[in-house]
Chains A and B, each alone.
Chain A
């Protein structure tokens, strides 16, 4: 350990203590509160299976919301990501687009949901709009960063043929960034399913609407059914994502070579 490292660690610990004091973080309160968790868990074990069909239907609605939000969000994000990439545009094009995307990302999806509930009223549509905005902001950013990290060699080699910009995008930028995009879409869908599950908190539909209401009325047994359905769904989506990633993304990103021939 160098003295410099000691100072850095000391500063981090000091900041941690000050910040904990400011947010009134008290470990004793946490320990004292643990028995309450036990009570909640005990009540949660009193699950009511008759609510399973409702929970499943609410989950289907949530998945549909996440699906529409992801597909539309990604579709809107793609052209914007092409315009926001520094290696494809002048700063007069990419700078305003990046500012717009940064502004969209400033709000978490729950704030977008509140805004859309005010605009279009309570219900899943407000949630879908919120998910679209959130997906748009993030996928566009991840995608323009992926485009900017594309290997310069194919870009140079194909540009030197004298192709048009659109041909360059069609034949180099899109195929070279496609594996990143698929990865981002899978991640975003996974994230959106979880996110949509809590949009019900502000009345924007989905399974979260049920969970928050049952918790409000201390019906933890009913809430538990819905939470278990969310858990199983998220695990299932994660499993499918891993399979798709292995099949379509890992190989192309690592550029696996067939070594049977040397010619």
Chain B
């Protein structure tokens, strides 16, 4: 059984207790019979580093797509920063500009350069003419270069995305999301294919940005150890249902639904969850 090491755990402070995501009794399905998510209740505080963990096909990615308005639930209500997602509504579309979404395969435009991929994050702030003719304002270009430097890709601005390594591609995806000046960052298993060292570097990068700009980071993980190490709270999803909501407090793992549980009990439950 895996042991959770509590050393070097980054500490995050909750700046506001205001709920940024609220899901009440949310269900959604890709066909009429099978529910991808079944009666999910979830609320996430602003500024939290939140992790969603579960086995393949448990509905984790679906949950993220509901949080950025790309999917609409078949039942229940969702509020994202107190707004009901509706892509046709101007107000919500404006809100979407501040939700950074990194899909599992990162969604980089492989034939564009690093700088162009990052600049995509500010497209909603540009006029039609500016974006059509790639006439980017000086301040946006220098902001993009600053972020590229922050994610450690200085000097690689003009490199095409397809020429980058796996870790570098993830840095570009994070930089693009940061370029949006996001309130929320949604990331879908973006470190699962990386080696431990690179995975932690990427996680540190997000944790650093999260502290710096009071970002709410919601990340889907496969690795419970990594989730507990970085997140304030971890929701465990099993077959479309939320079965646990846990977090690290001091040197203990706390189950926020049923009270305190021992590390062994939590890991036991999690391994039951993933063995299948």
Contact surface of A with B, Cβ cutoff 8 Å: 151, 153-164, 166-167, 170-172, 175-176, 178-179, 251-252, 255-263
Tell me whether A156 and B120 are in contact (CB under 8 A).
no
Question: Which one of A151, A161, A164 has the highest number of Cβ atoms from chain B below 10 Å of its Cβ?
Answer: A161
Q: Which 3 residue pairs are nearest across A and B when measured between Cβ atoms?
A: A157-B107, A162-B96, A153-B107
In angstroms, how far is the closest chain B Cβ from the Cβ of A159? 7
Contacts of A179 in B (CB 8 A): 111
Contacts of B260 in A (CB 8 A): none
In angstroms, how far is the closest chain B Cβ from the Cβ of A226? 41
**Given A157-B103, A163-B123, A176-B109, do A170 and B132 touch, yes or no (CB 8 Å)?**
yes
Q: Which of A162, A170, A175, A256 is in CB contact (< 8 Å) with B111?
A: A175
Contact surface of B with A, Cβ cutoff 8 Å: 68-70, 93-97, 99-112, 116, 120-121, 123-124, 128, 131-132, 152, 160, 162-168, 171, 173, 176, 180, 195, 198, 201
A55 to B104, CA, bound (A): 58
In angstroms, how far is the closest chain A Cβ from the Cβ of B275? 30
Q: Which of B94, B96, B108 is in CB contact (< 8 Å) with A154?
A: B108
Tell me whether B103 and A251 are in contact (CB under 8 A).
no
- List, sorted by A's number, 20 A–B pairs whose CB atoms are closer than 8 Å: A153-B103, A156-B103, A157-B106, A157-B108, A158-B123, A159-B70, A160-B69, A160-B70, A160-B96, A162-B97, A163-B124, A170-B131, A175-B111, A176-B110, A178-B111, A257-B163, A257-B166, A258-B164, A258-B165, A263-B167
Contacts of B171 in A (CB 8 A): 263
A263 to B123, CA, bound (A): 27
In angstroms, how far is the closest chain B Cβ from the Cβ of A62? 33
**Given A156-B103, A175-B112, A263-B167, do A167 and B180 touch, yes or no (CB 8 Å)?**
no
Contacts of A252 in B (CB 8 A): 110-111, 160, 162
Tell me whether B131 and A262 are in contact (CB under 8 A).
no
Question: Which one of A157, A167, A259 has the highest number of Cβ atoms from chain B below 10 Å of its Cβ?
Answer: A157
Q: Using a Cβ cutoff of 8 Å, how many contacts connect chains A and B?
A: 109
Nearest-CB residue, chain B, relative to A174:
B111
Nearest-CB residue, chain A, relative to B126:
A167
Tell me whether B120 and A158 are in contact (CB under 8 A).
yes
Given contacts A151-B105, A161-B97, A262-B198, 12 further A-B contacts (CB under 8 A): A154-B107, A154-B108, A157-B102, A161-B124, A162-B124, A163-B124, A166-B128, A257-B162, A258-B163, A260-B165, A263-B165, A263-B168
**Given A153-B107, A252-B111, do A161 and B120 touch, yes or no (CB 8 Å)?**
yes
Tell me whether A156 and B112 are in contact (CB under 8 A).
no
Tell me whether B107 and A262 are in contact (CB under 8 A).
no
**Given A154-B107, A154-B109, A161-B124, do A251 and B162 touch, yes or no (CB 8 Å)?**
yes
**Given A170-B131, A258-B164, do A156 and B70 touch, yes or no (CB 8 Å)?**
yes
Tell me whether B120 and A171 are in contact (CB under 8 A).
yes
Nearest-CB residue, chain B, relative to A155:
B107
In angstroms, how far is the closest chain A Cβ from the Cβ of B23? 18
In angstroms, how far is the closest chain A Cβ from the Cβ of B146? 19
Question: Which one of A155, A158, A159, A160 has the highest number of Cβ atoms from chain B below 10 Å of its Cβ?
Answer: A160
In angstroms, how far is the closest chain A Cβ from the Cβ of B62? 13
In angstroms, how far is the closest chain A Cβ from the Cβ of B108? 6
Nearest-CB residue, chain B, relative to A171:
B120
Tell me whether B162 and A160 are in contact (CB under 8 A).
no
Contacts of B108 in A (CB 8 A): 154, 157
Contacts of A170 in B (CB 8 A): 131-132
Contacts of B93 in A (CB 8 A): 162
Contacts of B198 in A (CB 8 A): 262-263
Tell me whether B165 and A259 are in contact (CB under 8 A).
yes
In angstroms, how far is the closest chain B Cβ from the Cβ of A249? 11
In angstroms, how far is the closest chain B Cβ from the Cβ of A154? 5
Tell me whether A263 and B201 are in contact (CB under 8 A).
yes
Nearest-CB residue, chain A, relative to B107:
A157
Q: Which of A175, A251, A256, A263 is in CB contact (< 8 Å) with B152?
A: A263
A263 to B102, CA, bound (A): 18
In angstroms, how far is the closest chain B Cβ from the Cβ of A69? 27
Contacts of B164 in A (CB 8 A): 257-258
Tell me whether A161 and B123 are in contact (CB under 8 A).
yes
Question: Which one of B69, B123, B198 has the highest number of Cβ atoms from chain A below 10 Å of its Cβ?
Answer: B123
Contacts of B100 in A (CB 8 A): 161
A170 to B132, CA, bound (A): 7
Tell me whether A175 and B131 are in contact (CB under 8 A).
no
Contacts of A153 in B (CB 8 A): 103-107
In angstroms, how far is the closest chain B Cβ from the Cβ of A65? 32
Tell me whether A158 and B128 are in contact (CB under 8 A).
no
Contacts of A178 in B (CB 8 A): 111
Contacts of B112 in A (CB 8 A): 171, 175
In angstroms, how far is the closest chain B Cβ from the Cβ of A147? 14
**Given A157-B103, A263-B201, do A256 and B110 touch, yes or no (CB 8 Å)?**
no
A74 to B191, CA, bound (A): 42
In angstroms, how far is the closest chain B Cβ from the Cβ of A196? 31
